[in-house]
Amino acid sequence: MRSLHPPALSIFLALTSLAAPAAWASDPLPQPASAAQERSQEQQQQDAQSQAAAAEDEHLPSYAAPAVHETKVTAPRALREEDPIGTYAQPRWTATRRFPTTRLYVVPEGTAQFEWWLETKTPLDSADDTRFRSLFEFEFGLGHRLQLDLYLETLQQSFQEWGLSAEKFELRYAFADWGQLPGNPTVYLEWTRTHEGPHKAEVKLLLGGELAPRVHWGTNLVYERVLGGERDAEYALTGGLSYTLQDQRFSLGAELNVELADVAGSRFDFNGYEVLVGPSLQWRPVKAAHIDLVALFGPEWERGGPDESFEAKAILEPTFIFGWEF
C-alpha cells in the first residue's frame, strides 16, 4: 500500500480534529437536569390534560382533584391534604370543615356538600335544662371565591317537644386566592329567620392557615344582632388548632369559644359571659365523608339586669358533625 505523504497526513489529521467536535455538538448527551425537567414538563402536561378532561366531562370532588402546580420551586409536600387544588389554589384540607366551632375560607368552585350537626348544651348543675340543637346544612361553591350555605335548624329544650326553629341563609366571600393575603381573610354574612321571636343577622371575619406541615389553625371574630325585642347582641371569638396524625384520615386538636352578650340601652355593659375550651378530632372513614367532634367545657356567667349580680355555672357543650361531599 502506498503511504500518505507527510503534508497530506497533517492536513487529514487537522480536518478530523475539527469535524469531531461539530458532530458531538449536533448530538449532545442527555444531562440529568434536563431529563428531570422534561419529566416535570410531561407531568404538568398530563395533569393539565386531566384537569381539562374533568372540566369538560364531570366534576371532581376535592379529594380526587389534581394538585395545582406552583411556579416557584419548593420542597415536596409530605401530605396530600396540603396539595393546592382548584381555582383558588387552596390546600385540599380546607375543602371540608376542619373545626366544628370555627369556619375558614370557602369551598372550591363547583363543590356541593351536606352536613348534619347535633349540638348539646348542658348546665352541669341542672341537667334537666339541656338544650338539643340540630342543623341540616347544604354548602355550594359558587366560584369567584363565593360560597352559599343553606340551613334548617331544629331545637328541643329539655324534654319539651322537638320542632323546626329557624332557617338560615349564609354567604361567604374570600378576598383573595389562598396564600395571597395573611390569614386568608374571608367575610361571612348570615341571616336567620326564626319561627318564634325576631330575626337575627350575623357577620364574621374568618381567618386561617397553616403554621407548619400537619399543623392548621383557624379563628373567627363574630358579631350577632337580634333585630327586635331588646335587640340582644353577641360578640364572640372562636379558635381552633389541629394536628394531622394520618393524612386525609385522622387529626386531633383543641378549640376555644368566648362569648359576651349585651342588650340595647346598655351596650358593652355585658350581662353574660362564656368561656369554653376542649379537645376536638376529625375522622374521615371514607374519602367523601368527614366526622367532627368537639367537647367544650367551661364557666358561664349570667345576670338578669344591670343591677343584679352574676350567677356562675359550669357548661358542657359537645358537638357532633357528619358531612358528605358529592
Q: Report whether 199 contacts 228 (CB < 8 A).
A: yes
End-to-end CA gap in the chain? 86
Give the length of the chain.
326
- SS3 assignment, position 200: strand
* 246-68-71 Cα angle (round to 5): 120
Q: How far apart are CA 211 and CA 315, in angstroms?
A: 31
For 48-72, the pLDDT digits (tens) are 555 554 545 467 888 878 888 655 5
Provide the grid cell at 283. Answer: 375522622
On the CB side of 174, CA atoms within 13 Å amount to 31
The per-residue pLDDT for 13 is 45
The per-residue pLDDT for 283 is 98
The per-residue pLDDT for 28 is 44
- SS3 assignment, position 52: helix
Q: How confident is the model at residue 73 (pLDDT cuts 50, 70, 90)?
A: very low
Q: How far apart are CA 72 and CA 76, in angstroms?
A: 12
Domains and CATH numbers, the chain: 84-325 (2.40.160.40)
The per-residue pLDDT for 153 is 97
Q: 200-205: long-range contacts (C-beta < 8 A, 24 or more apart)?
A: 200/224, 200/225, 200/226, 200/227, 201/225, 201/227, 204/103
What is the enclosing helix (H) or strand (E) of 25? helix 6-26
For 208-245, the pLDDT digits (tens) are 999 999 999 999 999 999 999 999 999 999 999 999 99
Provide the grid cell at 179. Answer: 396564600
Q: Which amino acid is at 284?
A: R
Q: Report whether 114 contacts 326 (CB < 8 A).
A: yes
The per-residue pLDDT for 58 is 66
For 8-38, the pLDDT digits (tens) are 444 444 444 444 444 333 434 444 444 445 4
Q: Which amino acid is at 66?
A: P
For 92-151, the pLDDT digits (tens) are 999 999 999 999 999 999 999 999 999 999 999 887 889 999 999 999 999 999 999 999
